[in-house]
Structure 1
Amino acid sequence: MPEPRSRKDAARNQEAVLKAADTLFARHESPDDVTMADVAAAAGVGKGTLFRAFGDRAGLLRALYEARLEPIREAVEAGPPPLGHATPPQERVPALLDAVLCFKLDNRRLALALEEGGSSSPYQAEHYQRWHSLLRAVLDQIPGLTDSDFTAHALLAATRADLIEHLAGQELIPRERMRAQLANFVARVLVSGPMQGLTAEE
């Protein structure tokens, strides 16, 4: 049975909006410089269509973020090493966190706008809860490592968008050095346990 035209139109409009938003956010220094009217005009749709599809600006940011994140999620759920299930947990944890770091480095402005936007805590965001649940499940597989729930939160804190923005934008730490620092931090946590790992430099 053919798909209803309205549904096809809606899917096509949503794809056009995400593509337009992606292009606009890439061109501007700050996502705050891009308005919903800008996105609607670039996509060739009315503002009403935009709001019906995404609810508000935060909804549009979430949808764009999720679209960019999809390849990583697919690699995590069904892909080959180092992200896939075949990788030992001691190797999968740093690979997962490295993937999050690289994703946020590649999407600094969008990640920062999404994590800072809205009145709710970023820890309540769907994408954060997904990463936390996944990381906690992998940490549970490591013998001798206790309190995987807190450890997952602590490790993910090292990939917060505001921290990445500070390190990359203010301290001008190169990408590869940042990745190495995160890998060393994760290694200490996994070897020493969460409390000792977190205080190793004190």
Structure 2
Amino acid sequence: EVAKAAGVGVGTVYRRFGDRAGLAYAVINDREVKFQAAFLTGPPPLGPGAGAAERVRAFLHALVDRTEDQLGLLLVAEMDSADARFTEGSYELYRQHLALLLDRIRPAADVHWLADALLAPLAANLYGYQRRTGGMSVARVKAGYDDLLAGLAPRGGATAP
């Protein structure tokens, strides 16, 4: 369908994008660039200027929304290659961003493991299962994140900047 709409052959599309995952990520890219700009340089709480805990929550909620909006494309991209989610570029940026913020909340924690654990529920196949088969609403997914994040609060109840 993409080749037909572009007026080129299927081989041309595959030469340009490599596989279906590459094509899906190319379609996703415009939204991805905007999302990255929002959490790297946009206004708080998603962007700089809010406390670390607030930013983690805003980031995860925004990523839930993004996953919801582009679930079909993400399913195609992630199913085409077992490693696509981890090698297309955004995952590592998300992981590092979360690790940086988590280090401000819980400096002694294994923040990279925690970042992976927080990103895992947004793998397209699991998220799709929760939404379609499990009947979970977007609000319920976000509430689940809020419950997880409550457990990450600094010991002693202090809030991290």
Q: Same fold (TM over 0.5)?
A: yes
- Aligned pair count reads 155
Q: Distance in 1 between matches of 2:88 and 2:153?
A: 26
- Kept in 2, the 8 Å contact 1:108–1:161? The answer is yes
Contact 2:24 2:73 in 1 (8 A): yes
Deviation of 1:121 after TM superposition, in Å, equals 6.1
Q: Which has the larger radius of gyration?
A: 1
Pick which of 120-129 and 157-166 moved more. Answer: 120-129
Structure 2, unaligned runs of 5 or more: 156-161
- The amino acid across from 1:62 in the alignment is Y
User: 1:85-130 CA distances to partner (integer Å, 9 max, x unpaired)?
Assistant: 1111010011111111111111111112222221436334422111
- TM-score w.r.t. the length of structure 2 is 0.85
**Alignment root-mean-square deviation, CA:** 2.0
Identity %: 34
> Aligned equivalents of 2:79 and 2:55: distance in 1?
28
1:67-82 aligned at under 5 Å gives the runs: 67-82=30-45
Q: Tell me if the contact between 1:82 and 1:92 (Cα under 8 Å) persists in the aligned partners.
A: yes
Give the alignment partner of residue 96 of structure 1, picking from 28, 36, 59: 59
CA distance in 2, matches of 1:164, 1:41: 31
1:65 is aligned, of 16, 28, 38, to 28
Task: Report which structure shows greater RCO (CA 8 Å, sep ≥6).
Answer: 2
Letter in 2 for 1:70: V
How far has the Cα of 1:40 moved from its partner? 0.9
Establish whether residue 182 from structure 1 lines up as the match of residue 145 from structure 2.
yes
TM-score, structure 1 as length reference: 0.69
Q: Is the 8 A contact 2:56 2:98 kept in 1?
A: yes
The answer to whether the 8 A contact 2:105-2:154 is kept is no
CA distance in 1, matches of 2:78, 2:91: 9
